[in-house]
């Protein structure tokens, strides 16, 4: 198994914060899906769902 370094791959359009995937990914119960839950992206800072995935990670500002 390889360990990937923590990358800030998600950007919150609401509060302009950057977060790694594991910080924004959450599973919430959903009765209308076969799995019984659905994966959503939520900003851990402001709770917004308006997250943008950054395809090119690796270059810090």
Binding site for Zn ion (CB under 5 A): 12, 14-15, 43, 45-46, 48
Q: Minimal distance in Å, beta carbon 12 to Zn ion?
A: 3
Of 12 and 41, nearer to Zn ion (C-beta) is 12
Give 1-60 as a DSSP string: --PPPP---EEETTT--EE-HHHHEEEEE-TTSTTSEEEEE--TTT--S-EEE-S-----
Of 41 and 43, nearer to Zn ion (C-beta) is 43
Of 33 and 53, nearer to Zn ion (C-beta) is 53
């Amino acid at each position: 198994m390889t360990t990937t370094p923590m990358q800030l791959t998600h950007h919150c359009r609401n509060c302009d914060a950057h977060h790694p995937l594991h910080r924004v990914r959450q599973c919430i119960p959903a009765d209308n899906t076969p799995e019984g839950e659905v994966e959503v992206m939520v900003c851990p800072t402001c709770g917004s769902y308006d997250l943008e995935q950054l395809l090119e990670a690796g270059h810090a500002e």
